[in-house]
Amino acid sequence: MSRLEEFARLARQLEAERRDAAKAVPLIVTDPERFLDEPLRREWLTLGMVEALCSAARTELVRSPERSLHIAQLATTIAEALVESYPRLIRVQVQAQAWKAMSNAHRLASRHPAALLALDVADRRIADEPALAHDRATLALARAITLREMDRTAEALLLLEGSREVFRNHRDLRQVAQCDLVIGMTHHRTGRFAEARQAFMRVIPVARAEDDLHTMAAAYNNLGRAAADAGDLNASVDALQQARSIFRELEMPTEIARTNWSIGVAQLSAARFDSAIGMLSEVRAELLKLGMPEEAGLAGVDLIEALLATNARAAARDLAVTIVEEFRNARLNERALQALSYLRETADVATAETAHQIGTYLRRLTNEPALLFVAPDRNR
Amino acid sequence: MRMAQSSNRSYTLDYGLMSVHLSAETRSDGELAATYEAHFDLLVGIAVSRFGIDRADAETLAHEVFLAFLTCVDRINDQRAWLVSAIFNASKNYVRRAQRTEPLPEDGRDPADPRYARAGQQWPDVLAAREAFARLTPRCQLALRLRHLEGYTIPEIATILGTTSKYAAKLVGRCLDQAQRRYGGGGAS
């Protein structure tokens, strides 16, 4: 068989496998963990199935990282069991994709060491393949995102520059935009707001040209946050409103609530306390309605900060009492409960700065669940 | 200065990353074969003329670039640019690796790999072990792969599987038992 014939046969086979996988995957997604404990069905051992499961794992990421992890584990097992009639290069390519899907699920659940270990396996699979430079750049981007979340920003930036170059050479503008988005977020985390804003600005025209509304909204959202931190309230609210209108178009209520939250925080930063109180109250109610008690609690702490800044101590204390109850009922992190209880006990004397410090602690706790709570100095 | 990172740090980004796959449009195998035919010689030419790679190896590289292209074609906007860039990267990588390898002497002996000295006798065992492994559950295949093929420790396996070390150790032990039973001709668990 000539190479062209082999290629055409594979293309046909892949198309058929994708059609079959599209029928099988919805069943798996309903309860993926169950299928991890049943023998693998032979008809599932296809490349199309691995692709479809990786895609399903991506879709489930935001809804449920655990479900996404189980789907990715299934994809990985299938990818590793693919028969040798597939060319070796394609097998290792999809194996790397499946390990990356597993890494993503771990990262979304803030299990960063696990995410890096899974990426190590993915890297090993394709390290020796000259033709997979684009895939290696994709893995490097995933690693950079993980490292950024672990505050290993210098390593993240180095990887991002390398990946961006490979994507740029391939004229893969979407991935270039993703790199810029992460570069901006990395600069933002290190307090380099001007560089962050420049990176986010680079993303917007590309995402618009590609009609990629998700990335455009993400860029506006991050741009708004960076502008707020740079003290540029007008630019911040403009950008956040742009993000919000895109999220509305995409019908993403959680992102709309989060963007409103960012607007409320920007107003709080600019000492526009009345507007901040109105906005944050609405956001908190919306987050509770959406079944997100942890984020509603965090928004509540921002609201307490605004209330304390306007000396509305009774309202601040009442809210602290409510949040402690919500956290207790939702069985959220004990240390978070300890910090919130401290805020409740000290609401009569606490300053807005105290609430701010507790909010900062709670946000760090999301990434560092073992971080000890140390009561802020009340006299400061 | 207050940092305005109010919401969870990664969600917006992940929506962005996810969207890469949302607008895929499927190319027919006929179109793909036409793309192959239209660009194959160009890619081989680049590998030969720009990187001095011999024709046979250049053709293998170009073919591999097309195989890589096959699984991501729906996400590629500019196919020609993607293919040209891919062959440039592949050729650079190939040349770098070639510089690190040392050719065997022309008149030297080419001894057989000692691992295959008893290949004839080992094959039945290898095949039986593979078959036993293939009949395990996905969870067991993954656990045993991590332990015995990737060489991870129990705490590392626990990390990757998102569980405790105690459970991971128990899982590996149980899966090994299951595999041994099947290797010995046992039925389903």
| pLDDT tens per residue, range A86-120 | 999 999 999 999 999 999 999 888 788 999 999 99
Look at residue B188 in the predicted model and tell me its pLDDT.
Answer: 44
From the CA of B84, how many Å to the nearest CA of chain A? 8
Establish if B85 touches chain A: CB-CB under 8 angstroms: yes
Cα–Cα dist A34/A41, whole Å? 13
- The 3 state secondary structure assigned to A181-213 is HHHHHHHHHCCCHHHHHHHHHHHHHHHHHCCCH
Look at residue B185 in the predicted model and tell me its pLDDT.
Answer: 60
Question: Phi and psi of A272, rounded to 5°?
Answer: -90, 75
Does the distance separating the beta carbons of A3 and B16 come in below 8 Å?
Answer: no
Question: Could you report the per-residue pLDDT of A237-268, keeping only the tens digit for each?
Answer: 999 999 999 999 998 888 899 999 999 999 99
Does the distance separating the beta carbons of B137 and A131 come in below 8 Å?
Answer: no
CB-based contact A149:A186 (threshold 8 Å): no
Does the distance separating the beta carbons of B94 and A172 come in below 8 Å?
Answer: no
Question: Could you report the per-residue pLDDT of A181-219, keeping only the tens digit for each?
Answer: 999 999 998 999 999 999 999 999 999 998 889 999 999
Establish if B13 touches chain A: CB-CB under 8 angstroms: yes
**A85 vs A78: which has the higher pLDDT:** A78
3-state secondary structure of A206: helix
Question: Could you report the per-residue pLDDT of A343-356, keeping only the tens digit for each?
Answer: 888 888 888 888 88
Does the distance separating the beta carbons of A18 and B82 come in below 8 Å?
Answer: no
* Residue B77, both tokens: 């906007």
Does the distance separating the beta carbons of A8 and B33 come in below 8 Å?
Answer: yes
Q: List the CATH code of the domain at B132-189.
A: 1.10.10.10
Q: How many residues does chain A have?
A: 380
From the CA of A111, how many Å to the nearest CA of chain B? 8
Cα–Cα dist B67/B65, whole Å? 5
CA distances from A367 to A127, A342, B124 (A): 30, 21, 50
Look at residue A74 in the predicted model and tell me its pLDDT.
Answer: 97
Cα–Cα dist A142/A134, whole Å? 13
Residue of A36, A81, A266 with shortest CB distance to B4: A266
pLDDT-derived band at A369, boundaries 50, 70, 90: low
From the CA of A377, how many Å to the nearest CA of chain B? 18
From the CA of A73, how many Å to the nearest CA of chain B? 8
Does the distance separating the beta carbons of A171 and B85 come in below 8 Å?
Answer: yes
**Residue A128: its chain B contacts at CB < 8 A?**
97
Q: What is the ipTM of this complex?
A: 0.80
Cα–Cα dist B47/B39, whole Å? 13
Contacts of A311 (CB under 8 A, 6+ apart): none
Residue of A18, A182, A266 with shortest CB distance to B13: A182
Cα–Cα dist A115/A9, whole Å? 35
Q: Which of A12, A67, A171, A249 to mutate to test the interface with B (most CBs of B within 10 A)?
A: A171
The pLDDT > 70 percentage for chain A reads: 97
Does the distance separating the beta carbons of B36 and A133 come in below 8 Å?
Answer: no
Contacts of B93 (CB under 8 A, 6+ apart): A130, A133
Question: Could you report the per-residue pLDDT of B28-80, keeping only the tens digit for each?
Answer: 778 889 999 999 999 999 999 999 999 999 999 999 999 999 988 888 888 99
Look at residue B22 in the predicted model and tell me its pLDDT.
Answer: 35
Residue of B139, B156, B159 with shortest CB distance to A36: B139
Look at residue B26 in the predicted model and tell me its pLDDT.
Answer: 53
What average pLDDT does the structure give for chain A? 91
Q: Can you give the residue ranges of every domain in chain B?
A: 25-100, 132-189
Q: Reply yes or no on whether the pLDDT at A163 is more than 70.
A: yes
Q: Residue A82: which of A93, A71, A72, A68 has the closest Cα?
A: A93
Q: Reply yes or no on whether the pLDDT at B12 is more than 50.
A: no
What average pLDDT does the structure give for chain B? 81
